[in-house]
């Protein structure tokens, strides 16, 4: 059973100052997890984790990871700007984007970030808009379906990302002609995997490709980025990844493929978001309504604005009714928000303890792609974000939005009268 990292007593104190709903993050868990990842890949001298900023774009969270030695993976102008403001420069930034606007390539070059090209045509586009750097990375898409021993993992052939192998070969040759001296290789073939096979299998594919690219193009490949895809068990009975076993699996492929090819100095990068943060965030809400019609409903003061994964994907997020952890789960509920959309549900037909108005509800595993995917439909406002510090104090790391924030983009006009004052 999943256990919250905050107690009911802590939440009662927190809500005296910060009303629900809010996202809260566990600093201790974040730091311990980052250190465990680093330990799992300590066999590789150049290893670096580039945290996927899109997962949790909060400067306080990113600073924690920076202190633990992580870089950042950015995919937009604002993510580059956020990273720059936090002191990231040069090869501490990986810029991985697609259908990239020209100004974003310009900004990435200004920061001397490692640019991860998504498409063969972007070579000429980058040269025209910002110039070609001496170090560059390219993203590989093998097409077809991606399989491990456990079966089909995903379908890269339907994904919009990456070069084909033939395009990579020609692309590396072209980039060399344009002055590139060192290369990286990147691929993302499956999302939220909960098998220890994913990274080692992907690593084997990329390691063999790196040898082939070296042999066919003469490229000096300095790093291989395994990207993200290592997931978390959202359901309490789902298997969890063993990052130490994953690291050993990648090491085995490294020693079998790259070392004999004379490429044993290649650095391994990861680009994790969900694995780094998801389990260390909760969305905390209050039960404010109950409805008895054809089904039993509990209405929260949170909605899909605060966590859209269940509405968007039908994704499962575990729910704890605080103070009733040991009570029998003998009531079947749909747990809903207040949006004018019938898919605004955090759970459907979920067996839970009896929920009373005023009960505090913890929705688990919202530390990545939780707050970040929020929006303002129905004029709903985004919640605050809090940090549970290692000393058990609580820090506000993003205030809740106000109506003034919502209307701020009309500040060029007086059409709304005093509402912006």
No. of H helices and E strands in the chain?
Answer: 12, 19
Beta strands in 18-164 (DSSP E): 22-26, 48-52, 71-74, 93-96, 114-117, 135-139, 146-148, 151-154
Q: How many CB atoms are located within 10 Å of the residue 66 CB?
A: 18
Please tell me the distance from the alpha carbon of residue 231 to that of residue 213, in angstroms, as a whole number. Answer: 29
Nearest to 167 by CA among 158, 178, 175: 175
Under DSSP, the state recorded for 68 is T
Give the separation between CA 339 and CA 323, rounded to whole angstroms. Answer: 27
**What is the spatial distance between Cα 406 and Cα 404, in angstroms, rounded to a whole number?**
5
DSSP per-residue letters across 39-57: HHTTTSTT-EEEEEGGG--
Pairwise CA distance, residues 304 & 312, whole Å: 9
Straight-line distance from the first to the last Cα atom of the chain, in angstroms, rounded to the nearest whole number:
48
**Distance (Å, rounded) from C-alpha 219 to C-alpha 336?**
54
**3 state SS of 363:** strand
- Is 329 tagged catalytic? no
SS3 146: strand
From the list 116, 118, 132, 119, the residue with the least C-alpha distance to 224 is 116
Q: Which two tokens stand for residue 234?
A: 């959202």
Taking the C-alpha atoms of residue 173 and residue 180, their distance in angstroms, rounded to an integer, is: 9
Residue tagged active-site, from 74, 303, 329, 340: 340
Quote the CA–CA distance of 118 and 111 in Å, as a whole number: 19
Report the alpha-carbon distance of residue 62 to residue 373 in Å, rounded.
17
* Cβ atoms 399, 58 nearer than 8 A: no
Token pair belonging to 282: 């909760």
Rg of the chain over CA atoms, in angstroms? 23
What does the CA dihedral 212, 216, 218, 223 come to, rounded to 10 degrees? -30
Active site residues: 340
């Amino acid at each position: 059973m999943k256990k919250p990292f905050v107690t009911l007593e802590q939440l009662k104190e927190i809500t005296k100052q910060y009303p629900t709903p809010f996202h809260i993050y566990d600093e201790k868990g974040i730091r311990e997890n980052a250190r465990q990842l680093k330990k799992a890949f300590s066999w590789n001298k150049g290893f670096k984790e580039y945290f996927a900023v899109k997962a949790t774009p909060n400067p306080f969270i990113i600073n924690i990871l920076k202190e633990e030695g992580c870089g950042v993976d950015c995919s937009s102008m604002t993510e580059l700007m956020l990273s720059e403001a936090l002191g990231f420069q040069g090869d501490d930034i990986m810029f991985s984007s697609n259908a990239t606007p020209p100004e974003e390539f310009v900004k990435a070059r200004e920061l001397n970030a490692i640019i991860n090209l998504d498409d063969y045509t972007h070579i000429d586009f980058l040269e025209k808009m910002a110039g070609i750097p001496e170090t560059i990375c390219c993203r590989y898409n093998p097409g077809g379906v991606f399989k491990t021993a456990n079966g089909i993992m995903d379908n890269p052939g339907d994904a919009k990302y990456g070069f084909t192998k033939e395009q990579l070969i020609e692309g590396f040759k072209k980039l060399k002609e344009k002055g590139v001296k060192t290369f990286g290789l990147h691929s993302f073939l499956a999302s939220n995997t909960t098998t220890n096979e994913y990274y080692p299998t992907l690593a084997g594919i990329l390691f063999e490709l790196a040898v082939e690219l070296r042999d066919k193009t003469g490229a000096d490949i300095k790093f291989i980025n395994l990207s993200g895809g290592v997931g978390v068990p959202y359901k309490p009975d789902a298997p969890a990844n063993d990052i130490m076993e994953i690291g050993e699996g990648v090491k085995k492929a490294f020693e079998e493929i790259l070392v004999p090819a004379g490429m044993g100095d290649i650095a391994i990068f990861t680009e994790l978001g969900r694995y780094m943060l998801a389990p260390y965030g909760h969305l905390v809400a209050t039960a404010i309504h109950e409805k008895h019609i054809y089904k039993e409903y509990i209405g929260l003061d949170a909605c899909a604005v605060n966590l859209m994964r269940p509405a968007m994907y039908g994704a499962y997020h575990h729910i704890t009714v605080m103070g009733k952890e040991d009570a029998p789960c003998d009531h079947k509920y749909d747990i809903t928000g207040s949006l004018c959309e019938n898919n605004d549900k955090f759970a459907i037909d979920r067996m839970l303890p009896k929920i009373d108005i005023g009960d505090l509800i913890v929705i688990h595993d919202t530390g990545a792609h939780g707050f970040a995917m929020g929006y303002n439909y129905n004029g709903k406002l985004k919640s605050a974000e809090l940090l549970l510090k290692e000393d058990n104090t609580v820090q506000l790391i993003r205030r809740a939005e106000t109506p003034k924030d919502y209307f701020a983009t009309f500040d060029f006009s007086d059409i709304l009268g005093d509402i912006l004052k």
